[in-house]
Amino acid sequence: MKKHYILTAVAALALSFGSCSDFLERDPDQILTEDQVFSDANMIKSVLANYYGRVTWGQHINDSYAYILLDEACRSDGGPDNTQSFGDAQWRVYDYGLIRNINQFLAGVRAAKVLDKDVQLSVEGEARFLRAWTYFNMCRGMGGMPIVGDEVFDYKAGMDVTALQYPRSTEAELYDYIIKECTEIAPLLSENPSVNGARATKWAALMLKARAAVYAGSIANYNNKMVSPIKTAGGEVGISADKAKAYYEMALASAKEVIASGKYQLQNTKPNDKGKNFYEAVCVKENNKEVIWARDYKYPGQTVEFTKLNIPATHAEDIDRCMYSPILNLVEAFEYVDNREGSIKTKDAQGNYIFYDKPEDAFANKDARLYGSIIYPGAPFRGMAVPLQAGRKSLENSVWVSEVAKGGTTDAQGNVITSINGPTTTNDQFINKSGFFFRKFMDETPMSSTRGRNSDMWFPRFRFAEAVMIAAEASFELEKQADAVTYINLVRERAGIQPLTVVTFGDIVQENRVEFAFEDHRYWDLKRWRIADKVWNGIPNDPNAQQFALFPYVINEPGNPNNGKWVFDKQPVHMAPYPRYFQPKHYYNFIDQGWINNNPKLVKNPYQ
Amino acid sequence: MDNYDEPKSKLYGKVTYNGETLGLRGTGEAIQMQLYQDGFELHDPITVYVGQEGTFEALLFDGEYKLVTKDKNGPWVNSRDTMVVNLKGSTECEVKVTPYFTISGDAITLNGNTLSATCAINKVVSTANIDRVMLLLSKTSFVDEVNNIARKDFTGLAAGNTSLSMDLAGNTNVTEAKALYARIGVKTSGADQAVYSKVIKLK
């Protein structure tokens, strides 16, 4: 018996020693120390990749809903869109957590010994680029915010926190800081385009610099032309007018450097099919010469739902379809090849319908970017026409009356009454409500609209056309009219529309709207030009503020010469009853009261 | 005992010019006042919403409060002077503002499909300019630039006696409405809100 005890004790002892060496003293494999990270080049790269994944803000294709807030698209998912105004925190970015992480990373990379000197510098450049981009996203929403430099804050119990509380910078100081950072890091970064534009290059830094400068220039310029300029006493919001010229000059110089780089171009690989060419320049990654920096997605692992949610019912590969759809307001903003007034001709001067042989004929001779950005009735997608038919019209006492049915209904002869794609004025799910579908950012890859796969479409943040448009805008503001004409005509020529001989402010607004539709430009552009409250004025049935749809009908009147032809009705989007209303308080996000409680040095924004 | 009794003291207030309350937008949290109380660590204001008749009220604990208008909010000259309110039981207060314009002598009538209005628009601040005058019709007693079933905007008007009219033919919301209320609004260039006339019940 005694022997038994001894054996058990020995066994227990042996077991406990054994576990000491290979279980309890294992190094954690989920938590890595800074030494471990910064002594391994691959580890450094994956930390950097983490930051790239944390900088997608504003309007983007992983948030389709965001497209309905402006004058670009509406809800088609069945639910009502009760949007009237904008939120005090609309697209607000306040991410000092990320800035702290980047500053920790910078300290680590600068001390790391495993990287070659040039790699070390370019990694530092990328991290600082992402930090500048983060500040830029904060600044365009809120104005000046605290600039913390490279400092990594640490808190120890009992310490005096007031040393950690930084006041807001002025709006001009923050733009200046972003511009200075971009200037300093441009030489550190690679001059060669990165794979799928996913990583920052010298040209991305110069684009951010140009954009920051043109934003700052427009605020200095247009804010002070308002009846009641928006500014705070300390300059956290508002930039003095005398700074405008220098900012525009900086924007022009930086944009020119990108244009002259020879690394990118206004992609024009299919000059005989300008619509498809534009789609490919923005949406196709292979051999792309246009996109400078993008949020890239890759299957498997990093995919995006945009194609799945918004694909036409006729083309759907899964149950999801027709969730959000572009509106007539945007379609009509695209000019005709030879006519700057872009409205779709549905009625003649006497108010009678114009009859079209095919629905797509109503969109003939439009700016090729319309084809490249929006699927209109009868336009092809993935090699197959996209039908859009709200119903049929027949004559009753010499008046055209509509016959509509549930989507996908045919009559006894098998003729379609209402297309499975819609549009309809029901509150049904999975059917179009506006008469148009997205094309820009819709993936043509098979199976990219399934839940199992999803899409790996990218989302460009900077592309060459923006360099050209910034050059055009800055030239215009600096009264270099001839240069402005040259630049804007480069963009218009690729789109196949008539060149301009004179550039006005309205032309700049117009060209940006159609070139960069759905690319997170419109909201910020209208804000910095201080015209958002004029365009989205909240007046019912206003042509800009109210959302409009275009409903196609086929004529069903056998014997009538127009039988089988198409007519169109323009009408307000029934799911969005309220006009968009941008009030002066929306020019700047509100500063959150919780942040002020933590840091009493933060001052509030105007109207707050 | 870690619970307080609920606040029971009531602060009644009105926004006035020359002793008259101003007609405002009373929906969408459009016009706000802020109450601050000293002596606490944090400085979150208590937001008080002003109704369309220019009055507001708040249930509070007794004490000394500081009442201010919200920055650049309202159809009046922005002035953020603090008003000290000593609240003990029910207290009334008057927030005196200088509106850019006032509306007086207003009359609105509905004749068939035509809504007609007359009023005098009085310029109070000599540098102010009218951005637009709005004629508004609603099926509830809440009438403003957003809450309406018919709205017409008139631009290019100057201060003085004004006649406005709106054709309502074809507006099914109006024909189906069980009740109708109308109002005139005047928006000043650069101001975030309009000043309104009294609400007039037409039906």
What ipTM describes this predicted complex? 0.90
On the 0-12 / 13-18 / 19+ scale of CB atoms within 10 A, A229 is: middle
**Cβ contact (<8 Å) for A228 and B145?**
no
Q: What percent of chain B has pLDDT over 70?
A: 99
Reduce the DSSP state of residue A109 to 3 states and report it: helix
Q: What are the domain boundaries of chain A?
A: 306-438+541-572
| A228 interaction partners in chain B (CB closer than 8 Å) | 72, 189-191
**Cβ contact (<8 Å) for A578 and B43?**
no
Rounded distance, CA A596 to CA A605, Å?
12
pLDDT digits (tens, 9 = 90+) for A329-373: 999 999 999 999 999 999 999 999 999 999 999 999 999 999 999
A597 closest CB neighbour out of B28, B42, B192: B42
The radius of gyration computed from the CA coordinates of chain B, to the nearest angstrom, equals 19
Average pLDDT rounded to a whole number, residues B98-119: 96
Q: What are the domain boundaries of chain B?
A: 9-96, 101-201
- Predicted model pTM: 0.93
If contacts are CB pairs under 8 Å, which of residues 151-190 in chain B contact chain A? 151, 153, 189-190
B192 closest CB neighbour out of A539, A578, A584: A584
pLDDT value at residue B35: 94
| A578 interaction partners in chain B (CB closer than 8 Å) | 146
Reduce the DSSP state of residue A482 to 3 states and report it: helix
Rounded distance, CA A435 to CA A441, Å?
18
**Cβ contact (<8 Å) for B190 and A228?**
yes
**Cβ contact (<8 Å) for A84 and B146?**
yes
Architecture of domain B9-96: Sandwich (2.60)
The answer to whether residue B125 neighbours chain A at the CB level (below 8 Å) is: no
Average pLDDT rounded to a whole number, residues A588-597: 96
The answer to whether residue A544 neighbours chain B at the CB level (below 8 Å) is: no
Average pLDDT rounded to a whole number, residues A81-94: 94
Q: What confidence tier does A27 reach under pLDDT thresholds 50, 70, 90?
A: confident
Q: Which residue has the higher pLDDT, B41 or A458?
A: A458
State chain A's mean pLDDT as an integer: 95
Neighbouring-strand partners of residue A352: none
pLDDT value at residue A12: 58
A539 closest CB neighbour out of B43, B73, B153: B153
**Cβ contact (<8 Å) for B146 and A608?**
no
pLDDT value at residue A20: 52
My answer on whether omega of the bond before A300 falls inside 30° of 0, hence cis, is: yes
Residue A135: which of A185, A167, A98, A162 has the closest Cα?
A98
Reduce the DSSP state of residue B94 to 3 states and report it: strand
Average pLDDT rounded to a whole number, residues A372-378: 98
Please report, for residues A307, A311, A318, A383, A456, the alpha-carbon distance to residue A446 in angstroms, rounded to integers and kept in the order given: 11, 12, 12, 12, 11
> What's the full length of chain B, in residues?
203
Average pLDDT rounded to a whole number, residues A381-401: 96
Closest residue in B to A231 (Cα–Cα)? B72
pLDDT value at residue A31: 84
CATH of the domain spanning B101-201: 2.60.40.2060
Closest residue in B to A597 (Cα–Cα)? B42
Please report, for residues B9, B93, B133, the alpha-carbon distance to residue B86 in angstroms, rounded to integers and kept in the order given: 11, 10, 39
If contacts are CB pairs under 8 Å, which of residues 572-591 in chain A contact chain B? 578, 581, 583-585
